[in-house]
Amino acid sequence: MQFLLLLAAVGLCGAQYNSNTQAGRTSIVHLFEWRWADIALECERYLAPNGFGGVQVSPPNENIVITNPFRPWWERYQPISYKLCSRSGNENEFRDMVTRCNNVGVYIYVDAVVNHMCGAAGGSGTHSTCGSYFDAGNENFPAVPYSGWDFNDGRCHTSNGEIQNYGDMYQVRDCRLSGLLDLAQEKDYVRTKIAEYMNYLIDIGVAGFRIDAAKHMWPGDIKAFLDKLNTLNTQWFPSGTKPFIYQEVISMNFLSASLCACVFSTFLLLRSGSDAMGLFLHTRKG
Alpha carbon distance 65, 90 (integer Å): 15
Asked about 42 being catalytic, the answer comes back as no
Confidence check: pLDDT of 272 > 50? no
Q: Is the pLDDT of residue 39 over 80?
A: yes
Model confidence over 80-95: pLDDT tens digits? 999 999 999 999 999 9
Question: What average pLDDT does the structure give for the chain?
Answer: 87
DSSP state of 89: B
Q: Which CATH code is given to the segment(s) 2-271? A: 3.20.20.80
> From the centroid of its chain, how far is CA 278?
19
Cβ within 8 Å of residue 29, ≥6 positions away: 3, 4, 5, 6, 47, 52, 54, 55, 56
- Residue pair 143/90 in contact (Cβ under 8 Å)? The answer is no
pLDDT over threshold 60, residue 191? yes
- Mean predicted confidence (pLDDT) in 39-50: 98
Q: How confident is the model at residue 244, as a pLDDT? A: 94
Query: Measured between alpha carbons, how far is residue 18 from residues 8, 13, 176 in Å?
Result: 9, 7, 32
Under 8 Å between Cβ of 71 and 53 = no
Residue 264: pLDDT band (50, 70, 90) is: very low
Cβ(59)–Cβ(34) below 8 Å = no
Q: Is 248 a catalytic residue?
A: yes
Catalytic residue among 42, 62, 139, 248: 248
Residues near 80 by beta carbon (within 8 Å), at least 6 away in sequence = 61, 62, 63, 64, 117, 118, 128, 129, 130, 132, 134, 141, 143
Per-residue pLDDT at 132 exceeds 90? yes
Domain boundaries, the chain: 2-271
Count Cβ atoms within 10 A of the Cβ of residue 32 and give its class: 0-12 exposed, 13-18 middle, 19 or more buried.
Answer: middle
Report helix, strand or coil for 279. Answer: strand
pTM comes to 0.87
pLDDT for residue 17? 67
Give the model's pLDDT for residue 169.
Answer: 92
Residue 130 near residue 64, CB atoms below 8 Å:
no
Higher pLDDT, 114 or 3: 114
Percentage of residues in the chain with pLDDT exceeding 90?
A: 78
List the catalytic residue out of 111, 150, 174, 212. Answer: 212
> What mean pLDDT comes out for the span 16-32?
89
